[in-house]
Amino acid sequence: MGPAACHAGCDAVTRLDVRRPALRHTLVRQPAPARRAGLTWPRLPAAAEVAITGAGYLAYALVRLAVRAGRHAAFAHAAELWRAERWLHLDVEPSLNHLVAASPALAEATGYHYGLLHFIVTPLVLGWLYLRRPSAFPRLRSALVLATGAANIVFWTWPVAPPRYSVPGMTDILVSHHVLGAADPHGPGRLVNLYAAMPSLHVAWATWCAVAVITATRSRWRHLAWLYPSATVLVVLASANHFLLDVAGGLAVLGLGLLGTAGNSAGPATVTEEPAPGRTRPAGAHRR
């Protein structure tokens, strides 16, 4: 074969290589389909959220009012908790209560913290989440509702008298310092269930507020939010409204709420084998 023929043959091979589609594949990561996050329901319009929140709090109040807790059962359960705490050497309530009762300023601060912040901070955090952290709102709101619902079940089935009634020598801080009309027999104190000490919703809601701030923000100062539930724990014990085991119960119902709403909004990415441009996928090709 002469040089001309060889040159023509090489040109033909070169043209064939150019026309040949590329055989390499490109691996493309695609997100898996979204999964439902436990018992979380989606963010609703503001009016609906306000209505649901109001209805939920009304139900919470009605359950507390409707409980026909026998005095004997409530005091018997309180005595069981108190015996358990003394056996475990966790009976810190009298020491804290006597310390606070000896200082009028400290007693009033404790009483107003207990009587007000519970109903102010939680709605403010809910509103902030709804307006400024809409992606975090559904799960955190759902966890709060579930925790409150679980607490209502305990209130209904296992009434407990607070230490201010069931432990000798304890001072009722709110009554002794006339905080928010607690000493008035016709005041707001008569509207609550006096035997709903277990679990402590004050602690559950305060801890929820800290969890919401910490998980929904990236500020270097966000962990200071733990100061609020820490102070609330001291307040509920020093005011003689809850046992230490009630505090543990509040943390437990919040844990149930967070666990019930746990889950990823989207699954892990999957790897899909895609052909390079110019190559069609063979029939029956599967994703890897």
* Lowest-confidence pick of 6-10, 62-66, 209-213: 6-10
Residue 51 has a pLDDT of 86
Alpha carbon separation from 209 to 42, 153, 196 (Å, rounded): 20, 22, 21
Mean pLDDT of 46-62: 78
Predicted structure pTM score: 0.77
**The residue count for the chain:** 288
User: Which residue has tokens 């799960």?
Assistant: 139
Residue 267, CA distances (Å) to 33, 35, 133, 287 in order: 6, 7, 21, 16
Among the ranges given (2-16, 46-60, 172-186, 229-243), the one the predictor scored with the smallest mean pLDDT: 2-16
